[in-house]
Amino acid sequence: MKILFERSGGFAGLKMSTTIDMDSLPEEEAEKLHDLLDEADFFELPELIQPARPVPDEFTYLITVEGEGRRHTVRTSDSAASDELRMLLNDLAFRARQRRV
């Protein structure tokens, strides 16, 4: 499975992205990502999750997960994401930052 992750916006309007090939990760890390996807019920989420009203300078996210015969994309923001989805977003943002260093 592959995860394509992009974060943009925020006060500075910076963009950060990464692609994670879960098959190339250590087993423990791949399991953690699978668990986060399951806890967020990722493949059942709508393509667009918007906040009740726009929040200035918040981060927006685009996540695409493909593999196992399926592909799903979700667009969301900090204020619109559920707690479970936010845990996935935080993990992916951390991985993206590590790859930039």
Asked whether the predicted pLDDT for residue 1 surpasses 80, the reply is: yes
Give the model's pLDDT for residue 54: 80
Confidence of residue 98 (pLDDT cuts 50, 70, 90): confident
Burial 33-47 (b: 16+ CB within 10 A, else e): beebbeebebeebee
pTM of the model: 0.90
Give the domain extent around 6: 2-100
Domains held by the chain: number? 1
Rounded Cα–Cα distance for residues 39 and 54 (Å): 26
At 100 the pLDDT is 63
